[in-house]
């Protein structure tokens, strides 16, 4: 006996046997019962959901001589029998993928003129209608809008957006839905029972998820699994045959991440990669798994899980243990990994870092007791390091620590305020591991607190927030005109972005020393003088700090007519340099330099 694949053998022959399209089949049956038939229909939807099958059933029901009270075909009259035996002259199927030219449409138009020999209508089923050329669509428009009374067109397509709007406006449009996992599992159970094949429901759930909403794909995968399993479809054999990663890995990864067991996560990742699975697919599957766990956390979203009943119970159990914040952060981390995966040159390292970060989402940051989410990768073996440090403490280290403490004891007593600040900032070295020598930063003449104060002082000067000066730290160092110009240019380069305009103008100004330590700044006009006056305090504080002279005064005045000079561009400055010293041009030519 000839073998027929399940997708053809168990193809629905009536509206009641169509899976997952109850609303559409009810509408079509009511149209047959009432006799209110349109002249053109468009069936659109994903692959393998029953578009062509419903078109054939509808065409047979239209020409049935004795339809049932529900609008189904009787399968007993001559028209139904001729259709079942594939010898009907009233129902034509056309593949638009291979018959997409204007000539094919003209041939079809000629066939519409001939009335049916048996039955009421001639039905033309055009599959993959989006493959027609634009010229063929235009040639089809007039006939589609006003066909003969005995002609009905049924168009089917998987890509509705490719069809011209003028075609869509002439048809009744029916959108077919994707098959749900539950509907697919139920249909596969019926096929397995008819074929006498044993099965596990989890194995059928894997097949349904792999089919991605297409019943034809599900039946094809079912035949493949039945051949591999030899009549007993089990979960382990199905995932082996389809090369699907066991969902148990995802459950274990989430459990290990919640327990912060980074080492076990790395071992599990290595096991997955050794089985031949790609790290990117692992991250994608784990992201889908975490999404399902999040959906299972709320009873309102539980219906969004397209899994079997057993898997749904496991998702609910894990959702009770996983905090919602962990699930949100995990999805963000894996989504970022998926974005960067293709551009990464070391893909395994990227996956490892992602899983390490997942395993640390619920772990408090080092030195923090608030439980706040860490923004860095913490030490994976922190406990081991602390144990080794406590056991490795030796007598020579203790002696060295005591000696260093004696050397720096007097200095620390005179700088107790700085040490107090260090301890408040969490930087005191005495709170660290006792195995280290007790070498203090104060022994080097500098503390972290002092460095921070100096840095804050500089920032305050640049931002104009320093208003007073410490009288106990007055300096009266002398400085030259060259040093003044150098610090002036450095100050202009350090000015914040919001002052970039005035900083560019100040670079073209040259402050002069009149009567030491008095400094005079000549500006071109009153507008610039007003702008400089607004930051005069910050300029003066900066010069005092970097020139080490607290007695500096700053005078700003507008240049007189004879003092005003033209502001030269970079190129003009270079040309002036060449005129004064021709060797500069020779040097440029020698090194083949160009002025940017």
Summarised one tens digit per residue, pLDDT across range 164-197 is: 888 898 899 999 988 888 888 889 988 898 888 8
Q: Is 484 exposed, middle or buried (0-12, 13-18, 19+ CB in 10 A)?
A: buried
How confident is the model at residue 304, as a pLDDT?
Answer: 82
More confident: 400 or 17? 17
What pLDDT digit, counting tens, does each position of 36-52 carry? 888 999 999 988 888 89
What pLDDT digit, counting tens, does each position of 209-243 carry? 888 888 888 999 998 888 888 888 888 888 888 88
Fold match between domain 181-242 and domain 455-558 = no
Widest pairwise Cα distance in the chain: 121
More confident: 216 or 568? 216
CATH 3.30.300 holds for 455-558: yes
CA distance 126 to 108: 10
Q: Is the pLDDT of residue 130 over 60?
A: yes
Q: Determine how many CB atoms are found less than 10 A away from the CB of residue 344.
A: 14
How confident is the model at residue 420, as a pLDDT?
Answer: 41
Both structure tokens of 550: 């607290």
Q: Is 539 within 8 Å of 491 (Cβ atoms)?
A: yes
What CATH code is assigned to 247-359? Answer: 1.20.272.10
Bridge partners of residue 175, in order along the sequence: 44
Please state the rounded mean pLDDT for residues 134-162: 88
- H helices present in 123-214, as ranges: 134-145, 165-168, 181-195, 201-211
Sheet order of strands, 40-44 included? 91-95, 122-127, 151-157, 40-44, 172-175
Taking the CA atoms of 436, 437, 440 and 445 in sequence, report the sign of the dihedral they define: negative
Q: Is 218 within 8 Å of 208 (Cβ atoms)?
A: yes
CA distance 569 to 551: 35
Domains in the chain: boundaries: 6-175, 181-242, 247-359, 396-420+435-442, 455-558
Q: Is the pLDDT of residue 385 over 70?
A: no
**Cβ within 8 Å of residue 540, ≥6 positions away:** 552, 553, 554
| pTM more than 0.85 | no
CA distance 39 to 369: 73
Bridge partners of residue 523, in order along the sequence: 558
CA-CA-CA-CA torsion for 112, 113, 118, 121, nearest 10 degrees?
Answer: 50
Residue-averaged pLDDT of the chain? 79
Sole residue written with tokens 């139920």: 186
CA-CA-CA-CA torsion for 307, 310, 316, 319, nearest 10 degrees?
Answer: -70
Q: Given the DSSP bridges, would you call strands 512-513 and 518-523 parallel, antiparallel or unpaired? A: antiparallel
Sole residue written with tokens 């959901």: 49
The superfamily in CATH containing domain 6-175 is P-loop containing nucleotide triphosphate hydrolases (3.40.50.300)
What CATH code is assigned to 181-242? Answer: 1.10.8.60
- Nearest of 190, 290, 208, 200 to residue 244 by alpha carbon: 208
Q: Is the pLDDT of residue 393 over 80?
A: no
Q: Is the pLDDT of residue 313 over 60?
A: yes
Q: Is the pLDDT of residue 376 over 70?
A: no
- CA distances in angstroms from 315 to 210, 244, 250, 306, listed in the order given: 19, 19, 11, 12
The DSSP code for 563 is T
How confident is the model at residue 473, as a pLDDT?
Answer: 58
């Amino acid at each position: 006996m000839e073998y027929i694949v399940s997708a053809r053998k168990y193809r629905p022959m009536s509206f009641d046997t169509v899976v997952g399209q109850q609303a559409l089949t009810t509408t079509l049956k009511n149209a047959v019962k009432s006799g209110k038939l349109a002249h053109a229909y468009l069936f659109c939807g994903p692959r393998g959901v029953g578009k062509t099958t419903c078109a054939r059933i509808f065409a047979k029901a239209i020409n049935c001589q004795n339809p049932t009270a529900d609008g189904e075909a009787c399968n007993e009259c001559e028209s139904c029998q001729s259709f079942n035996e594939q010898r009907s002259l009233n129902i034509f199927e056309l593949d638009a993928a291979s018959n997409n030219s204007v000539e094919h449409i003209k041939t079809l138009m000629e066939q519409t003129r001939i009335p049916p020999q048996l039955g009421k209508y001639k039905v033309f089923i055009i599959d993959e209608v989006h493959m027609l050329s634009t010229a063929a669509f235009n040639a089809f428009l007039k006939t589609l809008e006003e066909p003969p009374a005995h002609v009905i067109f049924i168009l089917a397509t998987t890509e509705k957006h490719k069809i011209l709007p003028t075609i869509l406006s002439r048809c009744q449009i029916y959108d077919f839905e994707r098959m749900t996992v539950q509907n697919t599992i139920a249909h596969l159970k019926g096929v397995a029972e008819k074929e006498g094949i044993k099965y596990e429901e989890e194995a059928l759930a894997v097949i349904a998820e792999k089919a991605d909403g297409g019943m034809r794909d599900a039946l094809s995968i079912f035949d493949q699994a039945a051949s591999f399993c030899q009549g007993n479809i089990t979960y382990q054999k199905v995932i082996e045959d389809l090369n699907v990663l066991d969902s148990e890995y995802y459950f274990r990864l989430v459990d290990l991440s919640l327990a912060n067991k980074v080492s076990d996560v790395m071992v599990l990742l290595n096991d997955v990669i050794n089985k031949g699975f790609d790290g990117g697919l692992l991250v994608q599957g784990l992201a889908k798994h975490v999404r399902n766990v999040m959906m299972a956390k709320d009873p309102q979203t539980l219906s969004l899980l397209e899994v079997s009943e057993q898997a749904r119970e496991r998702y609910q159990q894990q959702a009770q243990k996983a905090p919602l914040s962990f699930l949100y952060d995990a999805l963000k981390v894996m989504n970022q990994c998926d974005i960067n995966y293709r551009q990464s040159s070391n893909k395994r390292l990227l996956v490892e870092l992602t899983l390490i970060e997942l395993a640390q989402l619920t772990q408090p940051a080092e030195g923090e007791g608030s439980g706040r989410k860490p923004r860095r990768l913490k030490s994976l073996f922190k406990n081991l390091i602390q144990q080794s440090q406590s056991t490795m403490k030796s007598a020579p280290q203790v002696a060295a620590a005591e000696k260093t403490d004696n050397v720096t004891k007097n200095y620390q007593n005179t700088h107790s305020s700085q040490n107090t600040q260090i301890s408040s900032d969490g930087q005191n070295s005495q709170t660290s591991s006792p195995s280290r020598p007790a070498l203090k930063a104060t022994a080097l003449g500098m503390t972290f607190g002092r460095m921070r104060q100096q840095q804050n002082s500089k920032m305050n000067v640049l931002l104009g927030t320093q208003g007073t000066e410490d009288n106990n730290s007055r300096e009266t160092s002398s400085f030259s005109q060259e040093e003044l110009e150098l610090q002036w240019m450095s100050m202009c380069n350090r000015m914040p972005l919001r002052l970039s305009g005035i900083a560019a103008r100040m670079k073209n100004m040259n402050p002069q020393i009149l009567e030491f330590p008095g400094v005079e700044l000549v500006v071109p006009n009153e507008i610039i003088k007003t702008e400089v006056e607004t930051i005069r305090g910050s300029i003066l504080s900066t010069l005092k700090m970097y020139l080490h002279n607290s007695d500096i005064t700053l005078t700003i005045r507008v240049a007189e007519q004879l003092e005003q000079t033209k502001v030269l561009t970079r190129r003009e400055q270079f040309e002036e340099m060449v005129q004064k010293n021709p060797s500069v041009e020779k040097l440029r030519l020698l090194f083949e330099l160009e002025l940017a």
